Amino acid sequence: MLAQKTGAGTEEEKMVIQREFEDLLERCVRCEKPEDQEQIRKAFKIAFEAHKNMRRKSGEPYILHPIAVAKICTYELGLGPKSIISALLHDVVEDTDYTLEEIEFQFGHKISSIVDGLTKISGVFDQNSNLQAENFRKMLLTLSNDVRVILIKLADRLHNMRTLESLPPNKQIKIAGETIYLFAPLAHRMGLYAVKTELEDLSLKYRYPKAYEEIARKLRDSEIARQNFINKFSMPIIDKLEKQDIRFDISGRPKSIYSIWHKMQTKNVPFEEIFDLLAIRIIFDPVPDIPEKTQCWQIYSLITDIYMPKPDRIRDWVSTPKANGYEALHVTVMGPEGKWVEVQIRSQRMDDIAELGFAAHWKYKNMSSQEGELDKWIKKIREMLEDPQSDAMEFLDDFKLNLFASEILVFTPKGEIKSLPKDATALDFAYEIHTEIGNKAIGAKQNHKLVPLNHKLNSGDQVEIITSEKQKPQREWLDYAITAKARSSIKSALKAETKNRIEKGKEMLETKLKALSLHPSSRIFKKLLPAYDVVSKDELYSKIGLEIISLDDLDKVLKKNTKNKWIKYWELQLPFISKKDKDEEKESKDGPAINKSTPYLLRENVDEPESAYIIAKCCNPIPGDDVIGYQSPNNQVIVHKSKCPAAVRLMSSHGNRIIPAKWTTHKILSFLVRISLQGIDRFGIYNNITTAIAKELRANTRTINLHSHDGIWEGTIDLYVHSTTDLNNLIMNLIKIKGVEKVSRVENIEEEL
């Protein structure tokens, strides 16, 4: 939020700056030691000199910003001297001539390291910038060593949001968008409830000002009625608690403006229909020698003696705290006037941690169990950061995906609890236990019932993973693995397998060439690549290693005159070869132009997570089907069966976008098809059918739906095949089974496949 450099401030401004700094020192609860105060004064002096010619967009001296950030760190987060020094210096290295080496010389390595991590990242959320995502990753790398980096960064963002009105509207929306995308959920994960709530509300204020003002106005208008209701609801509870000699504080507060707005959006209801607008909070002073958990349930019992609880709205976070360390017992009860009211029961320690999160732990250093959950989370971040093959933008997506999803708690067979994001699958659970268990997983038992790896788990499930030494990670697993650990492990295993396959294929080709008294050369590859429908040496090696490409006819391939085919092939696959295609590529913003004079090759991208083409859901073509391609406006090729009704419509209305397409050999990737069967019922026929599919043809079945009536049976089977050749072989084998009268492929199946 810097403006241009200006001259030194006025005497009045210098007095304001000095007063703000003295207020910071006076109210710092952990800065009693003279040496700490001396270091803080030295940091202030350096920051003041470094920023003396700078002003914020609001016009105020820039030094007031780092002072304000330091105040948030100590007043609102309870941080100590090192954090205050780092906060005062957090912009010095980036915005002035000071270097990290000078900071280290003056204050030591630890503060220098924190300041380095706090260097501003102005464009982290620009999805076109890999560099900015990499910078964010580096900041998190510092986090994994010192959690204060994130706490101070959140304080910095909070002050920027509090002073956002001085920026132009386009900058306000950009910063507010960044805040709701990452910083608010980051505060949630760190357990900073108050910071998270304020960031969410301020973000909403600038992103949707009308909605914010309308909800704020309605809350103001209903404030008196709400306070009267809180008093009426609380009085009998206060009476009960006082009779039990429980020392407590009871308060009622409305939900945050953002949480009300979010519920209105997700449930599509107006403000008036949000029934749980307020929550009552009871914070008690625990009695020594009695577990806080026991006292929470005692208060719960007293409340439910007065008001009827809603059984499905009890949230027990005293037995199993959230991953951010949050502990409380929540119960929703039917209050006066037929209104549901949420009551939150916490000890004073629980409330401190709920409000201040990780920053409150210094007050409770002997409560090591509270740090455990956050330590586990930071360990997960470190695992993600240590993956050397992880793409920066991919990392940012995985980080956001896992950071703050609603959590479920799942039990191992031995009763150990694992915390996973909502919608996590059995496969995610397998990788959460151990990478090797995930890599070898073939299925799971959920509460003793057999389920597939893509089965979504629920909180409270007990899950056992079934493994096989023959199993290895499949590319399809990425479609339903959602945790960063699972996805990272799968990608690493696939990349390692690809590397091994390429090495194996290279060795096989070189051995074959040596037998022909030849050595690998560009001339030889100019013949081999188009002959085997591949576009690179690595793809050639990979397919040789997979035995998709046989080298038995290598000598014949090398003897063929492939000049013309070569030219056509590379005009198709590498459009930048000709000047005409160079011009076309310059004109295209979404990818290289496609040569429509030759078939577009539908290759098996075994070494790429993303396919270059999309299979149309309306007809689900598989290798071997006659197909055409439709080039969408963003240059993606959508593959339809030639006879598909949708393809016929496209050919008549968008003929200029239709391109010829041709399958290459597919032996690794599978495609889902449905076959219809009919026959005469007899004992054992179902077993014969499943045996033929599973054992004789090694096909992977998804669903079997067969039923019989009046001596006739019929139904469908959905299964995965590599090509029409596999499918036709399967149909021929099934038709040979006694009692099977008719087997056919179901064309134009519904999209749910």
For position 281, which CATH number holds?
A: 3.30.460.10
One domain, residues 433 and 318: no
Q: Is the dihedral of CA 530, 532, 534, 539 positive or negative?
A: negative
One domain, residues 169 and 268: no
**Cα gap 508→528, rounded to integer Å:** 14
**Cα gap 354→358, rounded to integer Å:** 9
Q: Is the pTM higher than 0.85?
A: no
Q: 7 pLDDT exceeds 60?
A: no
One domain, residues 424 and 516: no
Nearest one of 70, 56, 67 to 16, comparing CA atoms: 67
One domain, residues 421 and 523: no
* Of the ranges 7-11, 119-123, 425-429, 695-699, the best mean pLDDT one: 425-429
Amino acid identity at 677: L
The count of structural domains within the chain is: 6
Residue 495 contacts by C-beta under 8 Å, 6 or more apart in sequence?
389
* Residue 576 domain-assigned (yes or no): no
One domain, residues 69 and 128: yes
* Residue 4 domain-assigned (yes or no): no
* Residue 156 domain-assigned (yes or no): yes
**Cα gap 300→315, rounded to integer Å:** 12
The catalytically annotated residue of 20, 60, 95, 102 is 95
* pLDDT score for 525: 81
- Whether 323 contacts 376, CB under 8 Å: yes
One domain, residues 36 and 176: yes
**Cα gap 541→528, rounded to integer Å:** 11
Range of the domain at 252: 217-364
- Whether 666 contacts 617, CB under 8 Å: no
**Helices 64-71 and 148-162: angle between axes, nearest 10 degrees:** 120
Query: What DSSP string runs through 239-276?
Result: HHHHHTT--EEEEEEEPPHHHHHHHHHHHT--GGG-S-
* Residue 173 domain-assigned (yes or no): yes
Domain CATH number, residue 177: 1.10.3210.10
One domain, residues 480 and 514: no
The catalytically annotated residue of 23, 94, 273, 386 is 94
- Whether 457 contacts 429, CB under 8 Å: yes
* pLDDT score for 126: 44
* pLDDT score for 376: 58
**Cα gap 677→705, rounded to integer Å:** 10
CA 607 to chain centre: 23
* pLDDT score for 3: 43
Among 429-438, 499-508, 533-542, the minimum mean pLDDT is found in 533-542
- CA separation, residue 81 to residues 31, 68, 160, 226, 280 (Å): 6, 15, 22, 41, 35
End of a domain among 450, 474, 490? 490
CA 418-422-426 angle, to 5 degrees, is: 60
Query: What DSSP string runs through 93-118?
Result: HHHSS--HHHHHHHH-HHHHHHHHHT
Q: Report the pLDDT averaged over residues 712-729.
A: 86
Buried-exposed string 340-358: b where 16+ CB fall within 10 A, e elsewhere: ebbbbbbbebbbbbbbbbb
Residue 388 contacts by C-beta under 8 Å, 6 or more apart in sequence?
none
Per-residue pLDDT reduced to its tens digit, 364-409: 544 444 445 555 555 555 555 555 444 544 555 555 545 545 677 7
Q: Where are the alpha helices (DSSP H) in 532-661?
A: 537-545, 554-559, 563-573, 579-587, 645-653
Q: 166 pLDDT exceeds 60?
A: yes
One domain, residues 211 and 279: no
Nearest one of 673, 678, 735 to 707, comparing CA atoms: 678
Among 426-440, 468-482, 491-505, 571-585, the minimum mean pLDDT is found in 571-585
End of a domain among 532, 560, 588? 560
Q: Report the pLDDT averaged over residues 23-34.
A: 80
CA 197-209-190 angle, to 5 degrees, is: 15
One domain, residues 397 and 464: yes
Tell me the CA end-to-end span of the chain in Å, nearest whole number. Answer: 52
Q: Report the pLDDT averaged over residues 659-669.
A: 75
* Residue 102 domain-assigned (yes or no): yes
End of a domain among 513, 531, 560? 560
CA 692-696-699 angle, to 5 degrees, is: 80
* Residue 157 domain-assigned (yes or no): yes
* Residue 79 domain-assigned (yes or no): yes
One domain, residues 68 and 161: yes
- The two tokens of residue 611 are 């396919």
Higher per-residue confidence, 726 vs 579:
726
One domain, residues 436 and 509: no
CA 631-632-636 angle, to 5 degrees, is: 75
- Whether 398 contacts 384, CB under 8 Å: yes
Amino acid identity at 420: L
Q: 76 pLDDT exceeds 90?
A: no
Among 60-64, 296-300, 532-536, the minimum mean pLDDT is found in 532-536
**Cα gap 531→536, rounded to integer Å:** 12
* pLDDT score for 304: 92
CB neighbours (10 Å) of residue 131?
11
Domain CATH number, residue 426: 3.10.20.30
CB-facing half-sphere around the CA of 281: CA atoms within 13 A: 15
* pLDDT score for 520: 80
* pLDDT score for 169: 85
Per-residue pLDDT reduced to its tens digit, 177-215: 878 877 887 787 777 888 999 999 999 999 899 999 999
| pLDDT level of residue 568 (50, 70, 90 thresholds) | very low
Residue 631 contacts by C-beta under 8 Å, 6 or more apart in sequence?
594, 637, 657, 658, 659
| pLDDT level of residue 173 (50, 70, 90 thresholds) | confident
719 strand-pairing partners: 673, 701
| pLDDT level of residue 574 (50, 70, 90 thresholds) | very low
| pLDDT level of residue 427 (50, 70, 90 thresholds) | very high
Q: Is 94 a catalytic residue?
A: yes
Structural element, H or E, at residue 140: helix 130-143
* Residue 536 domain-assigned (yes or no): yes
One domain, residues 248 and 309: yes
